């Protein structure tokens, strides 16, 4: 299954590379309009064609990758930053009121679909990339809290944790020294999956106008713009759509590949 890992790593790094290069160089200025050259299909000059204002799609895709990656990455960071400590705490204090409050809070956030959180936030604070990040990030918190707690709970039953308790270590120290390192693999894998879900969510939010606002380019809004022209210029929808699919596919393959690669049982079988 290292095939998944390699394909996923290649696709993901291509997208990262495109986003990084866009800071230094894009084929054209992604905001430059050129009405005479509008709605071109892919050709030698405009590799991915142009939109209804004659803007170069390749340049827009490259700059749009920055938005997608930034939003999804920060959202994963929020989710991990808050979710992992919550999950570790809940597991360390299993059955206490603290555990109960954390888990009920999780259930409550799960009852709000992420888009509904985004709607609420934009209704209150207005649309924008930052609010999209908050909306997606909040929804990531219970995901990480739950997965951390689940894995930590089974570790707390293990005898090496009992041995550490007999050695007089307190719950916080055991969580940091024994629990966290043993759930890292799981968190890395879940992180890539949430990252890919974040890309999809960002695209959805931008599509309905709740994400990054113009002039910041984003894949979702490119699709919204393409919608009315899909019958005569399908490439306007195909290009950003393919970009999203390849990115998400790459991240998912990377996550699957990492899971197999990091799984100690499978690794032992290999060596």
Partner 1 sequence: MTLLDVTRLSLKIGCYPVLKDVSFHIEPGEIVAVTGESGSGKSMTALAVMQLLPEQAEAKGYITLDGTQLLDQSEAQMCALRGQSIGMVFQEPMTALNPVKTIGAQVMETILIHKAMPRGQAEARAREVLERVGLPEDRFPLSRYPHELSGGQRQRVVIAMAIALRPKLLIADEPTTALDVTTQAQILELLKDLVQDTGMGLLIITHDLAVVADLADRIVVMRHGEVVETGGTRQLLRNMRHPYTRMLFAASSHRVALPEPPAPAPLLEVRNAVRDYKTPRKSLFAKPGRFRAVKDVSFTLNRGERLGLVGESGCGKSTLTRAILGLEPLQGGEILLGGEVVTTHLKPAVRRKLQVVFQDPYGSFNPRHRVERLITEPFHMLPDPPVGAARRDLIAETLTAVGLKPEDAGKYIHQFSGGQRQRIAIARALITRPELIIFDEAVSALDVSVRARILDLLAELCAAYSLTYLFISHDLSVVRTITDRCLVMRQGEIVEQGETEEVFSNPQHPYTRQLIAAAPVLPDLDQGAA
Partner 2 sequence: MLRYALKRLLSLILSLAVASLVIFLVVEVAPGDPASFMLGVNAQADTVAALKAELGLDQSKTARYLSWVAGMLGGDFGTSYTYRTPVAGMIADRMWVSLPLAFYALTLSTLIAFPAGIYAAARRGKAGDMAVMGATQLGVAVPNFWFAMMLVLIFAINLRWFGAGGFPGWEAGIWAGLHALTLPAIALALPQAAILTRVMRSALLDILDEDFMRTARAKGLTRRQALWRHGVRNALIPVLTIIGLQFSFLLAGAIIIEQVFYLPGLGRLVFQAISARDLIVVESVVMLLVFAVITVNFLVDLAYALVDPRLRSRA
| Residue ranges binding partner 2 (CB under 8 A) | 107-108, 110-116, 119-125, 196, 200, 203-204, 207-209, 223, 226-227, 230-231, 234, 237, 240-241, 244-246, 248-249, 252-253
Rounded to 10 degrees, the C-alpha dihedral 117/118/121/124 comes to -120
Query: CA 204, CA 246: separation in Å to the nearest integer?
Result: 16
- The nearest distance, CB 200 to partner 2, in angstroms, is 5
Please, which residue, 69 or 179, has the CB nearer to partner 2? Answer: 69
Q: Name which of partner 1, partner 2, none residue 122 binds, using a CB cut-off of 5 to 8 Å depending on partner kind.
A: partner 2
Minimum Å gap between C-beta 163 and partner 1 is 6
Residue 31 Cβ vs partner 2, minimum distance, rounded to whole Å: 23
CB of 41 to partner 2, least distance (A): 15
Closest approach of partner 2 to the CB of residue 233, in Å? 11
Q: Which helix (H) or strand (E) is 118 found in, with range?
A: helix 114-125
> Is 169 in contact with 177 (CB distance < 8 Å)?
yes
Give me the DSSP letters along 162-208.
HHHHHTT--HHHHIIIIIHHHHHHHHHHHHHHHHHHHHHHHHHHHHT
List residues near partner 1 by CB under 8 A.
Answer: 158-160, 162-169, 178, 181-182, 264, 268
Residue 112 binding target from partner 1, partner 2, none, CB below 5 to 8 Å by type: partner 2
Q: Rank residues 63 and 121 by Cβ distance to partner 2 and give the closer one.
A: 121
Give which of partner 1, partner 2, none residue 119 binds (C-beta under 5 to 8 Å, depending on kind): partner 2
CA 59 – CA 25 distance, rounded (Å): 9
Q: Give the one entry of partner 2, partner 1, none that residue 159 binds, where binding means its C-beta sits below a cut-off of 5 to 8 angstroms depending on kind.
A: partner 1
Rounded to an integer, what distance in angstroms lies between the CA atom of residue 81 and that of residue 271?
A: 34
Q: How far apart are CA 39 and CA 78, in angstroms?
A: 39
- Identify which of residues 11 and 187 has a Cβ nearer to partner 2 in the complex: 11
Residue 190: CB minimum distance to partner 1, A: 19
Choose the contact partner of 164 out of partner 1, partner 2, none; CB within 5 to 8 A by kind.
partner 1
Closest CB to partner 1 among residues 36, 168 = 168
Please give the angle made by the CA atoms of 179, 181 and 182, to the nearest 5 degrees: 65
Task: Name which of partner 2, partner 1, none residue 44 binds, using a CB cut-off of 5 to 8 Å depending on partner kind.
Answer: none
- Give ∠ CA 48-51-54 in degrees, rounded to 5: 100
DSSP 37: G
Q: How many helices, marked H, and strands, marked E, lie in the chain?
A: 11, 0
- Cβ of residue 160: shortest distance to partner 1, in angstroms? 5
DSSP code, position 32: -
160 touches which of partner 2, partner 1, none (CB within 5 to 8 A by kind)? Answer: partner 1
């Amino acid at each position: 299954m290292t095939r998944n890992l390699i394909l996923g790593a290649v696709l993901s790094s291509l997208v990262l590379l495109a986003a990084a290069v866009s800071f230094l160089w894009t084929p054209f200025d992604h905001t430059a309009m050129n009405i005479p050259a509008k709605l071109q299909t892919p050709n030698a000059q405009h590799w991915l064609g142009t939109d209804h204002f004659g803007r170069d799609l390749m340049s827009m895709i490259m700059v749009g990758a920055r938005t997608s990656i930034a939003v999804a990455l920060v959202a994963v960071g929020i989710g991990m930053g808050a979710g992992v400590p919550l999950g570790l705490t809940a597991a360390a204090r299993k059955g206490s009121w603290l555990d109960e409050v954390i888990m009920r809070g999780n259930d409550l956030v799960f009852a709000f679909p992420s888009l509904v959180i985004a709607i609420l936030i934009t209704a209150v604070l207005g649309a924008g990339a930052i609010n999209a990040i908050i909306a997606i990030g909040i929804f990531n918190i219970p995901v990480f809290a739950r997965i951390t707690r689940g894995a930590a709970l089974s570790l707390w039953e293990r005898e090496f944790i009992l041995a550490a308790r007999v050695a007089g270590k307190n719950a916080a120290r055991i969580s940091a020294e024994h629990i966290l390192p043993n759930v890292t693999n799981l968190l890395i894998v879940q992180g890539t999956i949430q990252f890919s879900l974040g890309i999809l969510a960002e695209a959805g939010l931008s599509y309905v106008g709740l994400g990054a606002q113009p002039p910041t380019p984003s894949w979702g809004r490119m699709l919204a713009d393409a919608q009315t022209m899909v019958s005569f210029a399908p490439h306007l929808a195909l290009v950003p759509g393919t970009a999203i699919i390849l990115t998400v596919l790459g991240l998912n393959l990377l996550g699957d590949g990492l899971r197999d690669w990091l799984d100690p049982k499978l690794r032992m079988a290999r060596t």
